[in-house]
């Protein structure tokens, strides 16, 4: 039965007044829109690839990956500014594509299963200096993300099957992203609302602009987080704070976010969250972040592909990518039950001991000066 959007199909129990007071009218199963796009409802257990392709046809905007090989930082840009970078179905599919690409770049692509800590086997595959060590998730036009694109929801995805598909794909994508053996930072400007707030929890760290606002609005919509955000938020800030943020839907300022441990840093007065995130990441990347700052500023292009060879300034010494990736693997392996986590840590250690970076470090003469606190 093909229903057309109109008030007479409005089903009171699904009517919800959204945070920007746009009523959402429910329509029934098969959808057509003015663009005669048919959103196919597919079986619950359909391959995730089918779900991704089904969603790809919905809505606009884009998610863009760029890699800066000079600074070893990758950037994922949520780009849907006319809708506050909210996620359309197309953007959900593109984010999944990008996580595929990053997994291939940093993991042994033979059978990587990024949804489980055991499934993530980091490798160093390209020349050390080119290897990506960190990734920043950020939004266009000075805002982070307003969650799910509600115009897509209204037009195509208010059925149980639509919600199930969308949630299944986003759970998979954000779990794989969270498990990537890269150090990830959410650079939050403006708003991170609903699924946008959930997206920040999929990163290892959060750097907020001093005016940024974070809000888990799901309770106002008669639901709970649909992208894994409640689970990750609870691990981040503890049960008490998580339940308060989710249950009251209170707006979290940058200061409050820092106070409860949700945010790791607030951008300094005259700095964007993106620039502050690059400096934050540089502490993981460069052996001496302070002295690497001029190089970082010269080459960090906010996500433009910067592979221009600049002979005048070879990159400052960086931590071996395999060591950083191994450390991330050890941390996510703590999700494994019992002794499995320790076993994974030992496996990573053995895989690195005696490797090129370890041999180079061991052969360096010890020097107490390098342990002086700056």
Ligand X SMILES: CC[C@H](C(=O)O)C(=O)SCCNC(=O)CCNC(=O)[C@H](O)C(C)(C)COP(=O)(O)OP(=O)(O)OC[C@H]1O[C@@H](n2cnc3c(N)ncnc32)[C@H](O)[C@@H]1OP(=O)(O)O
233 touches ligand X by CB under 6 A: no
CB of 303 to ligand X, least distance (A): 22
Q: Which of 37, 115, 151, 234 binds ligand X (CB under 6 A)?
A: 151
Q: Which of 61, 114, 194, 321 binds ligand X (CB under 6 A)?
A: 194
Contact 182, 204 (CB under 8 A): no
Residue placing its CB nearer to ligand X in the complex, 103 or 189? 189
Dist CA 72 CA 117 (whole Å): 23
Residues with Cβ within 8 Å of residue 286, at least 6 apart in sequence = 292, 296, 316, 317, 318, 319
Q: How far is the CB of 55 from ligand X (least distance, A)?
A: 13
Among 54, 68, 72, 86, binds ligand X (CB under 6 A): 86
Residue 215: phi and psi, rounded to 5, are -150, 125
DSSP annotation string for 191-249: EEETHHHHHHHTSSEEEE-TT-EEE--GGGGTS--SSSHHHHHHHHHHHHHHHHHHHH-
Which secondary-structure segment (H or E) carries 275?
A: helix 273-285
- Among the listed ranges 141-149, 250-258, 262-270, 323-331, the one in contact with ligand X (CB under 6 A) is 141-149
> 24 or 327, CB closer to ligand X?
24
Regarding 218 and contact with ligand X (CB under 6 A), the answer is yes
- Joined together, the tokens standing for residue 117 give 């800590």
Q: Is 19 in the site for ligand X (CB under 6 A)?
A: yes
- 190 versus 315: smaller Cβ distance to ligand X: 190
Contact 142, 84 (CB under 8 A): no
DSSP H or E stretch at residue 255: helix 254-259
List 76, 99, 102, 193, residue binding ligand X (CB under 6 A): 193
Stretch that binds ligand X, among 37-45, 93-101, 216-224, 283-291 (CB under 6 A): 216-224
Cα gap 16→148, rounded to integer Å: 15
Residue from 27, 76, 140, 146 binding ligand X (CB under 6 A): 146
Nearer to ligand X, 105 or 176 (CB): 176
Q: Interface with ligand X by CB under 6 A: which range of 12-20, 202-210, 306-314, 353-361?
A: 12-20
- 366 lines the binding site for ligand X (CB under 6 A): no
Count how many residues are written for the chain: 374
Binding range to ligand X, per CB under 6 A, among 219-227, 313-321, 322-330, 342-350 = 219-227
Give the separation between CA 186 and CA 199, rounded to whole angstroms.
8
Q: How far is the CB of 342 from ligand X (least distance, A)?
A: 35
Told to check if 67 binds ligand X by CB under 6 A, we report: no
Query: Of 150, 192, 257, 320, which one interacts with ligand X (CB under 6 A)?
Result: 150
* Residue in the shown chain whose Cβ atom is closest to ligand X: 147
Question: Distance between the two ends of the chain, CA-based, in angstroms?
Answer: 69
Query: How many CB atoms neighbour CB 315 within 10 A?
Result: 18
Binding site for ligand X (CB under 6 A): 18-20, 83-84, 86, 146-151, 191, 193-195, 217-218, 221, 223, 225-227
């Amino acid at each position: 039965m093909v229903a057309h959007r109109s008030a007479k199909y409005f089903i009171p129990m699904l009517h919800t007044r959204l945070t920007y007071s746009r009523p959402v009218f429910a329509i029934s199963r098969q959808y057509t829109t003015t663009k005669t796009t048919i959103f196919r409802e597919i079986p619950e257990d359909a391959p995730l690839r089918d779900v991704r392709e089904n969603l790809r046809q919905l809505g606009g905007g884009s998610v863009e990956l760029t890699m800066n090989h000079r600074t070893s930082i990758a950037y994922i840009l949520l780009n849907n500014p006319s809708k506050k970078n909210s996620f359309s179905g197309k953007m959900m599919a593109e984010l999944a594509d990008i996580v595929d690409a990053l997994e291939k770049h940093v993991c042994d692509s033979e059978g990587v299963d990024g949804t489980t800590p055991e499934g993530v086997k980091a490798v160093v595959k390209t020349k050390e200096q080119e290897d990506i060590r960190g990734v920043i998730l950020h939004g266009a036009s000075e805002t982070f993300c307003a969650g799910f694109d509600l115009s897509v929801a209204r037009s195509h995805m208010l059925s149980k099957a639509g919600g199930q598909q969308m949630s299944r794909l986003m759970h998979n994508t954000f779990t794989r992203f969270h498990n990537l053996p890269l150090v990830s930072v959410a650079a939050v400007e403006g708003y991170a609302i609903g699924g946008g707030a959930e997206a920040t929890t999929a990163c290892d760290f959060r750097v907020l602009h001093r005016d940024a606002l974070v809000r888990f609005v799901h309770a106002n919509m008669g639901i709970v987080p649909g992208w894994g955000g409640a689970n990750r938020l609870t691990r981040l800030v503890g049960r008490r704070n998580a339940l308060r943020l989710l249950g009251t839907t209170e707006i979290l300022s940058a200061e409050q976010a820092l106070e409860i441990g949700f945010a790791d840093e607030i951008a300094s007065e005259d700095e964007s969250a993106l620039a502050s995130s690059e400096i934050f990441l540089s502490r993981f990347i460069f052996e001496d972040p302070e002295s690497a700052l001029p190089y970082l500023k010269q080459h960090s292009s906010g996500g433009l592909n910067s592979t221009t060879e600049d002979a005048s300034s070879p990159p400052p010494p960086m931590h071996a990518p395999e060591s950083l990736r191994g450390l991330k693997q050890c941390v996510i392996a703590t999700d494994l039950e019992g002794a499995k986590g320790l076993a994974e840590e030992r496996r990573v250690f053995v895989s690195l001991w005696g490797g090129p970076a370890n041999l180079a470090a061991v052969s360096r003469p010890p020097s107490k000066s390098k342990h002086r606190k700056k």
